[in-house]
């Protein structure tokens, strides 16, 4: 996770050099509760001067759906708002438990509740949120994709784009369980917890419907928002084939999308510096292009 944060901090530095934007004054609100669970909290950053027609960047942390914390992206939110004038938020959400009482569906509900809470809270403080970009890495990338593709047509304000760094896109992909993948944990158990149904090596092929329901690729249509994604060919946590399959599905559907292939990188995408620079530039362009400022 530290390497993932370092990657995003590189993005911050790029933004600063690219746009040369003067610091923007902002108000920071921490540990705001958008629900009754202890994990249903977020940090919100609102620009002080620009109050109308403000775009929001929402960041969703990774951690195998069972760990991680919103604080991973506090520095990035400070720069997103303090240097570029976008509102920003980083959220916690309900995590997988040993009781099996939390699944990806609860996490999507949390994202929905958090967005509605942010819009309403910002309005009370005089800021009108009119558009959203959603970004995440790893498990957070999966949730960003899945929420965007399943909620874009019912969101309170338009979701303009999605950014996913090594986010799982297709749980029916048998490459998840290939011999070259990291075997330090039980992948079947993790996916079982995520979907709320028991998945094993023996019944995997019979679970296609349930696995597909948790897979962002299943919801790709010509109407889903533009998507920027990055995957490493040497990733032993999320198979590279998840990235190529999603990219192909989006292209086939005619969705604006950009795919960054990191041939020498694992899950942290740290093995291809030149491609990292290009990817960081693409993130900046996505925000500017699809937010319109």
**Fold adopted by 2-291:** Rossmann fold (3.40.50)
User: How confident is the model at residue 13, as a pLDDT?
Assistant: 53
According to the model, what pLDDT value does residue 283 have? 87
Domain range list for the chain: 2-291
Task: Give this prediction's pTM.
Answer: 0.93
Cα separations (Å) of 271 from 33, 88, 265, 277?
Answer: 38, 29, 4, 12
> What is the structure's pLDDT at 10?
56
- Which pLDDT score, from 0 to 100, does residue 17 have? 47
pLDDT tens readout for residues 140-198: 999 999 999 999 999 999 999 999 999 999 999 999 999 999 999 999 999 999 999 99
Give 3-state DSSP helix, strand, coil % of the chain, rounded to 5. Answer: 45, 20, 40
| pLDDT value for 50 | 77
Distance of alpha carbon 108 from alpha carbon 46, whole angstroms:
24
Structure confidence at residue 213 (pLDDT): 98
| Residues of the chain predicted below pLDDT 50 | 17-20
């Amino acid at each position: 996770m530290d390497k993932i944060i370092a990657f995003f901090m590189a993005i911050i530095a790029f933004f600063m050099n690219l746009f040369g934007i003067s610091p923007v004054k902002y108000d920071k609100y921490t540990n705001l509760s958008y629900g009754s669970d202890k994990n249903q909290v977020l940090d919100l950053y609102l620009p002080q001067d620009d109050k109308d027609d403000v775009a929001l960047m929402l960041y969703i942390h990774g951690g195998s759906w069972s760990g991680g914390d919103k604080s991973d992206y506090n520095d990035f939110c400070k720069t997103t708002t303090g240097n570029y004038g976008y509102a920003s938020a980083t959220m916690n959400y309900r995590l997988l438990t040993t009781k099996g009482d939390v699944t990806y569906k609860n996490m999507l509900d949390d994202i929905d509740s958090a967005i509605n809470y942010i819009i309403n809270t910002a309005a009370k403080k005089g800021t009108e949120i009119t558009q959203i970009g959603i970004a995440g890495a790893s498990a957070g990338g999966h949730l960003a994709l899945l929420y965007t593709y399943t909620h874009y047509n019912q969101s309170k304000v338009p979701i303009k784009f999605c950014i996913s760094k090594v986010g799982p896109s297709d749980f029916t992909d048998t490459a998840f369980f290939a011999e070259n993948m990291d075997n330090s944990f039980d992948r079947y158990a993790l996916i079982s917890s995520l979907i709320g149904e028991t998945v094993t090596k023996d019944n995997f092929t019979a679970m296609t419907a349930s696995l597909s329901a948790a897979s962002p690729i299943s919801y790709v249509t010509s109407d889903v928002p533009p998507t920027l994604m990055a995957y490493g060919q040497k990733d032993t946590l999320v198979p590279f084939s998840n990235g190529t399959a999603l990219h192909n599905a989006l292209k086939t559907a005619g969705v604006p999308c950009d795919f960054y292939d990191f041939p020498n990188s694992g899950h942290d995408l740290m093995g291809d510096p030149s491609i990292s620079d290009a990817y960081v530039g693409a993130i900046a362009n996505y925000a500017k292009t699809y937010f319109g400022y």
